[in-house]
């Protein structure tokens, strides 16, 4: 009897120790599951960042192809039709600058007959380049027709004149006098804008400042911001 009584506390002690080990085992299993889930979540997030980086890289490549190819296509098409020196084309942006002497009399917003004839030849060629490639058509959201004046005269009058000139050009494009195969698509992208003397030489009345500019607005206009986003994604992936 005494032996049994002495043995019983040892049995209880072993049972207590077993309970402790079971609790530690459960805790370790729980921690293992937690870290396994955490690892899976991190892997999923990393994969999402990689996919996002690849998508941004593809957008950058598309945008760069447009920036590189479009101005060259514009230059080739227009100079092939008109020769060099008739209009000024920016080889980096594709901006086309048409001197006001081609389109308007001084101080007037009414298109000259010669100006209409010029647009009748120029617009179909210009539009054909835009719609010659689905990549161009998709990324170009607006074709902005900008009127510009020199710094001579009042700022208010110059702003009004520049806007009326831009509207005269866009109205002629919309009119029945001008017909070309991509007209309906081209009309959807046109935006008339007056810049007045904002970009003019303020020190003198320079005739070269009087012009109409055809300028593109792209879907990804802020190329620098796109690069910044892509670099941010690359850094997060490599960490």
* Burial category of 189 from C-beta neighbours within 10 Å (exposed 0-12, middle 13-18, buried 19 and up): middle
Reduce the DSSP state of residue 200 to 3 states and report it: coil
Q: What is the pLDDT of residue 44?
A: 82
Q: What is the pLDDT of residues 121-138, one digit of tens each?
A: 999 999 999 999 998 998
Task: List the beta bridge partners of residue 89.
Answer: 96
* Burial category of 82 from C-beta neighbours within 10 Å (exposed 0-12, middle 13-18, buried 19 and up): middle
Residue in the structure block whose two tokens are 């980096």: 92
Q: Among residues 95, 94, 92, 111, which one has the least CA distance to residue 103?
A: 111
* Residues of the chain where predicted confidence (pLDDT) is lower than 70: 1-24, 26-27, 220-239
Q: What is the pLDDT of residue 117?
A: 96
User: Where are the chain's structural domains?
Assistant: 1-239
DSSP H helices in the chain: 2-82, 100-103, 113-130, 134-139, 155-174, 183-187, 223-238
What CATH architecture does domain 1-239 belong to?
2-Layer Sandwich (3.30)
Buried b (16+ CB within 10 A) or exposed e, 146-181: bbbbbbbeeeeebbbbbbbbbbbbbebbeeeeeeee
**pTM score above 0.95:** no
Question: What's the DSSP call for residue 93?
Answer: T
Reduce the DSSP state of residue 144 to 3 states and report it: strand
CA separation for the pair 66, 156 (Å, rounded):
37
Q: What is the pLDDT of residue 239?
A: 53
CA separation for the pair 63, 208 (Å, rounded):
31
Q: Are 233 and 52 in contact (CB under 8 A)?
A: yes
> What size, in residues, is the chain?
239
Question: What distance lies between CA 108 and its chain's CA centroid?
Answer: 35
Q: What is the pLDDT of residues 82-113, one digit of tens each?
A: 988 889 999 988 999 999 899 999 899 999 99
Q: What is the pLDDT of residue 13?
A: 47
Q: Are 131 and 143 in contact (CB under 8 A)?
A: no
* Burial category of 62 from C-beta neighbours within 10 Å (exposed 0-12, middle 13-18, buried 19 and up): middle
């Amino acid at each position: 009897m005494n032996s049994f009584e002495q043995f019983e506390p040892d049995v209880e002690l072993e049972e207590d120790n077993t309970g402790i080990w079971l609790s530690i085992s459960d805790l370790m299993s729980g921690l293992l599951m937690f870290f396994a889930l955490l690892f899976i979540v991190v892997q999923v997030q990393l994969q999402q960042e990689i996919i996002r980086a690849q998508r941004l890289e593809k957008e950058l490549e598309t945008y760069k192809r447009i920036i590189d190819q479009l101005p060259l296509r514009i230059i080739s098409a227009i100079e092939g039709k008109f020769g060099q020196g008739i209009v000024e084309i920016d080889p980096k942006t594709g901006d086309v600058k048409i001197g006001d002497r081609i389109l308007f009399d001084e101080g007037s917003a009414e298109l000259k007959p010669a100006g209409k004839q010029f647009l009748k030849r120029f617009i179909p060629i210009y539009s054909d380049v835009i719609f010659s490639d689905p990549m161009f058509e998709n990324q170009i959201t607006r074709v902005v027709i900008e009127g510009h004046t020199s710094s001579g005269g009042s700022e208010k009058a110059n702003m009004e004149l520049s806007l009326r000139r831009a509207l005269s050009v866009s109205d002629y494009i919309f009119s029945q006098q001008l017909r070309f195969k991509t007209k309906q698509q081209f009309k959807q992208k046109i935006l008339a804008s007056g810049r007045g003397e904002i970009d003019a030489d303020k020190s003198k009345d320079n005739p070269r400042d009087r012009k109409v500019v055809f300028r593109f607005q792209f879907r990804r206009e802020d190329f620098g911001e796109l690069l910044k986003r892509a670099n941010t994604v690359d850094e997060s992936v490599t960490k």
